[in-house]
Amino acid sequence: MGACCSRDVIAKVPKTIIPDPLDGARPPRWNCRIHTCPERSRRARSPPRLTRIRPPHPPSPPPLRAYSGESVCVSIKQTGWLSRDYTVYTNPEQVLDGSNCFTDFSWFFLNKSGKRGGEVCVELENFVRGWDRDNVKRGQPLWRVDFVDKPAFWQNVRQPGSAVVMPPIALFGKVALQWGGHGALHHDQRYLAMLRTRRTHHHCEHLATAICNFHMNAGATLSSYGAAMGCGGLPIPPRKCFGRDVCLNVQALGTAACRWYKVTRESTDEDGRVSYHTSIERDTMEHVDVTEFALLDRADPTLRTVVTIPATGVPVAFGMTGDVTDDTANYDCPLFTVRQNGGFWSNDPPCVTTKPGVDPALAILLSHLMLKEYSTKEIKKDFKPQFDHSPPWGRTGMM
């Protein structure tokens, strides 16, 4: 899911590469020089004669200390204009202030690749590059997620006040399903009220109204392969989500409304003759009622086992009601907390604070999926209601 007009942008390597976090741990202090970028070291000035030549590579950094039980606070910002790639920064305050030196606080790079509208993947990479001979600008991936860019939707078009046909849903969390009740007319009226009001300077005749209930069921597979050499000079083992292989299940329930009009417009030519033109127009709206995210254990063939956090015993399955992530996101979930300021015209990059006892790299990747790929704004952008272009009712029922 994402913009139809986008481009791939490679993030710049910072002066200091921050070490990768351990599972359930945070890296050392941000202002310590742990590892200098080899690309910048090679461009250093040659030493004078009769002096001791320095080694070509910086010394190995000290072993990482695990800060188990603590969390990290990062900011996720778009790498470039119209880019589908994002950069993770460790200093949200400086990024929000618009400072020119926030590149030095780059920690991870969210690289999206694949066919737009088809099968794509997002890799959470560090800035240790040069290990892949086929792609020298590729960093070492800590986590990878594969999913379909354009999910499929089940939908049912009906008349206002008619019975609701329930989709084959299987929600995991404790999200109350308030999908227009049982098709009561007063429940459908709140969706019809979201349609824009027609201006009165044109003659409009209301012809018909329709309600469409839709359901999205999407999945994303998470994987980690490790690396032969990390930024600390040691191999990186494959990461696990609480010791398990997991996948993300995303479900959304929503309602769309449509109202058809017969519009008559009056026009006057140069000779003063008046003519009337009649056309059929319609107004539509889409609203997401419930969005649910669940982290499932891939060892279960039925994919019905929700992963729980060992430290707290809380299952990683939660839901949100309404269009809460259209332009800004402010909510709390078992893996992270997100805060974002702004509105329809502009907004700040989201600030994500991971929860204690959770792999920060995994929480950052999942937060990006929930905030960008599976936001309510993107869900409504991908959904195309099957309303006829002109009444009377040409098609109703499940599609």
In this predicted model, what pLDDT tens digit does every residue of 266-287 receive, in sequence order? 888 888 888 888 888 889 999 9
The mean pLDDT value of the chain amounts to 77
Q: CA-to-CA distance for 378 and 6, rounded, in angstroms?
A: 14
Q: What's the angle, vertex CA 338, arms to CA 176 and CA 3, rounded to 5? A: 85
Full-model pTM = 0.79
- Helix, strand, or coil (residue 264): strand
Q: What percent of the chain has pLDDT over 90?
A: 30
- Helix, strand, or coil (residue 220): strand
Residue 267's Cβ-side half-sphere holds a number of Cα atoms within 13 Å equal to: 8
Q: Mean pLDDT, to the nearest integer, of 373-397? A: 81
Strand 106-114 with 86-89, pairing = antiparallel
Quickly list H helices, the chain.
38-42, 92-96, 185-192, 360-368, 376-382
pLDDT band at 96 (very low <50, low <70, confident <90, very high): low
Q: CA-to-CA distance for 122 and 21, rounded, in angstroms?
A: 19
Residue pair 290/374 in contact by the 8 Å Cβ criterion: no
Domain boundaries of the chain, sorted by first residue: 38-46+55-398
Question: Phi, psi at residue 204, to the nearest 5°?
Answer: -120, 130
Q: Among all chains, which residue has been given the structure tokens 């003519």?
A: 275
In this predicted model, what pLDDT tens digit does every residue of 134-155 receive, in sequence order? 877 888 888 999 999 999 999 9
